A and B are shown apart, each in its own frame.
Chain A
Amino acid sequence: MSVIEKLIEYFQFPMVRYAMIVGVLIALCSSLLGVTLVLKRFSFIGTGLSNVAFGAVAIAAAFKMNNTFLLSLPVTILCAVLLLRTGQNTKIKGDSAIAMISVGALAMGYLIMNLFPSSANLSGDVCSTLFGSVSILTLTTEEVWVSAALSVIVAAVFLLFYHKIFAVTFDEEFSAATGVRAKTYNLILAVVIAVIIVLAMNLVGALLISALVIFPAMSAMRVFKSFKSVTICAVAVSVTCAALGIIISIIAETPVGATIVAADIAGFAIFSCIGFILRKV
């Protein structure tokens, strides 16, 4: 059986089609804000927040909640707001705050999962929450719709606030001094980041989210030089890598999240080479 026939056969299943749609949408959203996060020196906030989301999911599972979004989303948003706020005062404080919250939430999450196991296969549960191993293929229709809707909202918010996000990222002080509501836009940024993290947990799991946020932005920054072109390129890279990663994982039967991240790493290597050559020419 050829590879293409195998793919066609797999795409007969609605679950695979859903996984593809949701995966591409999540990749699109996460890359949109990657540029801002990298430039604001907040690369690590993805890791921190995803661990918080992991803790929240563990608690939701312990309480036997059907839809873990209901708990993980508000908790993660709250932490994002708190973290971005402390990050503004001093750098060191922000750094250690992220580290504390992130390992703290991870430990508490694992502890709660052990105390109140929701299924017999505990290590399987933990593994799929951390690495998103198969969860993208086991999404319920409801979860697919929620993910799709949130992705569209995130993309719309980014588009509407595009110029404002650029201004507060490039020079927050200038924006605030000239009467732009920099604090409000930072808050919006925090909320949007939290939503993306919770969404992306389904795709690549808590531990690999940062890769989804950072790699496309870094790849694009190797080659392009304006904010607009970097953003567009990051989205293109991210969507391509996610689609490729999902397809490869189906054919080669590898874990979805890790395969997507591997594709992102390959993309980064290619763009680094292109950037190097362009600078030499």
Chain B
Amino acid sequence: MAQLVCQNLSLGYEGKTVISELSFEVNSGDYLCIVGENGSGKSTLMKTILRLKKPTLGQVLTGDGLSPDEIGYLPQQTAVQKDFPASVREVVLSGCLNRCGLRPFYNKSEKQLAEHNMEKFGITTLAHRCYRELSGGQQQRVLLARALCATRKILLLDEPASGLDPAVSGEMYELISGLNNEGLTVIMISHDITAAIKYASHILHLGGGSAMFFGEKSEYCKELK
């Protein structure tokens, strides 16, 4: 069975339907890019996949033994975080929380995992710096390291390159692509169709209240022409 299956999903808020009759599958190791206009329901779809919102119809199924505490998520930044006093290490470590259960403190292997992920994204030297004082690119690396602490299988990203300059967002896409090559399933929302075509294996194009396209990248490119 596929890792994630969406069956006949209808999504909406405040009684307004945004997406209806949406079905697609994501297999282990896929790199799915969700593209579409503003308001086409990309973020709503992602929140539904994460079970933060209930679909009005249809269901989201997980397979391959994927449970909620194995999902990594990189959300868009919230207003609260702009003046939050938190060190980089504290933020990254908080990604390990879903491994703790009722245990009140982090154990050694969780701390090592956080160190390892900080090293992976080159932010070890920033460990004791304040999160809110970092540049946009550095902040995204911190959140990516946190997301990686939370997951073993699948990573969901909501506009990871928004607000970054082209060079930095290129680096960000390379990092994500590297994670996908290591075997992690990636689902990413993006405005950037060029990047989507460059890195993704599958494309889901939302628009007009349903899926305008879902399939492999090569077919999507043919349709674009």
A173 touches B87 (CB 8 A): no
Residues of B within 8 A of A227 (CB): 84-87, 90
How far is it, in angstroms, between the C-alpha of A187 and the C-alpha of B129 when the chains are bound?
31
Closest to A161 in B: B104
Residues of B within 8 A of A180 (CB): 69, 97-98
0/1 per residue, A157-190, Cβ < 8 Å to B?
0011111101101110111111110000000000
How far is it, in angstroms, between the C-alpha of A187 and the C-alpha of B187 when the chains are bound?
31
Segment with Cβ contacts to B, from A70-78, A92-100, A111-119, A218-226: A218-226
**Docked complex: B69-98 residues within 8 A CB-CB of A:** 69-73, 75, 78, 80-81, 83-87, 90-91, 93-95, 97-98
A261 to chain B, nearest CB (A): 23
Return the contact of A178 from the options B80, B86, B98 (Cβ within 8 A). Answer: B98
Residues of B within 8 A of A41 (CB): 80
B66 to chain A, nearest CB (A): 11
How far is it, in angstroms, between the C-alpha of A225 and the C-alpha of B127 when the chains are bound?
12
B75 touches A173 (CB 8 A): yes
A171 touches B52 (CB 8 A): no
Say whether B50 faces chain A, with CB atoms less than 8 Å apart.
yes
Closest to B133 in A: A225
How far is it, in angstroms, between the C-alpha of A164 and the C-alpha of B102 when the chains are bound?
10
A166 to chain B, nearest CB (A): 6
A157 to chain B, nearest CB (A): 10
A167 touches B97 (CB 8 A): yes
**Docked complex: A226-271 residues within 8 A CB-CB of B:** 226-230
Residues of B within 8 A of A39 (CB): 80, 83-84
Residue from A163, A166, A177, A227 having most chain B Cβ neighbours under 10 A: A177
How far is it, in angstroms, between the C-alpha of A64 and the C-alpha of B94 when the chains are bound?
48
How far is it, in angstroms, between the C-alpha of A190 and the C-alpha of B94 when the chains are bound?
21
Which bucket holds chain B's interface residue count? Answer: 35 or more
A209 to chain B, nearest CB (A): 23
The secondary-structure label for the interface of chain B is: mixed
How far is it, in angstroms, between the C-alpha of A177 and the C-alpha of B151 when the chains are bound?
11
Say whether B215 faces chain A, with CB atoms less than 8 Å apart.
no
Known contacts A178-B98, A228-B90; A162 and B104 CB within 8 A of each other: yes
A14 to chain B, nearest CB (A): 36
Closest to B156 in A: A177
A177 touches B50 (CB 8 A): yes
B98 touches A166 (CB 8 A): no
Return the contact of A179 from the options B68, B81, B90 (Cβ within 8 A). Answer: B68
Say whether B42 faces chain A, with CB atoms less than 8 Å apart.
no
B211 to chain A, nearest CB (A): 23
Say whether A17 faces chain B, with CB atoms less than 8 Å apart.
no
Residues of A within 8 A of B71 (CB): 177-179
B97 touches A163 (CB 8 A): yes
A266 to chain B, nearest CB (A): 22
0/1 per residue, A126-168, Cβ < 8 Å to B?
0000000000000000000000000000000001111110110
Say whether A6 faces chain B, with CB atoms less than 8 Å apart.
no
B104 touches A226 (CB 8 A): no
A224 touches B85 (CB 8 A): yes
How far is it, in angstroms, between the C-alpha of A39 and the C-alpha of B87 when the chains are bound?
15
Return the contact of A173 from the options B70, B72, B78, B129 (Cβ within 8 A). Answer: B78
How far is it, in angstroms, between the C-alpha of A167 and the C-alpha of B81 when the chains are bound?
12
B10 to chain A, nearest CB (A): 21
How far is it, in angstroms, between the C-alpha of A32 and the C-alpha of B156 when the chains are bound?
34
A226 touches B128 (CB 8 A): yes
B85 touches A178 (CB 8 A): no
B14 to chain A, nearest CB (A): 11
How far is it, in angstroms, between the C-alpha of A40 and the C-alpha of B67 when the chains are bound?
29
Return the contact of B94 from the options A170, A177, A221, A225 (Cβ within 8 A). Answer: A170
How far is it, in angstroms, between the C-alpha of A137 and the C-alpha of B70 when the chains are bound?
54
A162 to chain B, nearest CB (A): 7
**Docked complex: A181-203 residues within 8 A CB-CB of B:** none
Known contacts A161-B104, A170-B80, A225-B85; A175 and B97 CB within 8 A of each other: yes
A179 touches B69 (CB 8 A): yes
Q: Which residues of A approach B to under 8 Å, CB–CB?
A: 35, 39-41, 159-164, 166-167, 169-171, 173-180, 221, 224-230
Known A167-B97, A177-B52; further 19 A-B contacts with Cβ < 8 A: A39-B80, A163-B104, A167-B94, A169-B84, A170-B94, A171-B75, A171-B80, A174-B75, A177-B75, A178-B68, A178-B71, A178-B72, A178-B150, A179-B67, A180-B97, A221-B85, A225-B85, A227-B86, A227-B90
The list of the 7 closest CB pairs from A to B, nearest first, reads A179-B69, A225-B130, A179-B68, A226-B87, A177-B50, A178-B150, A177-B73
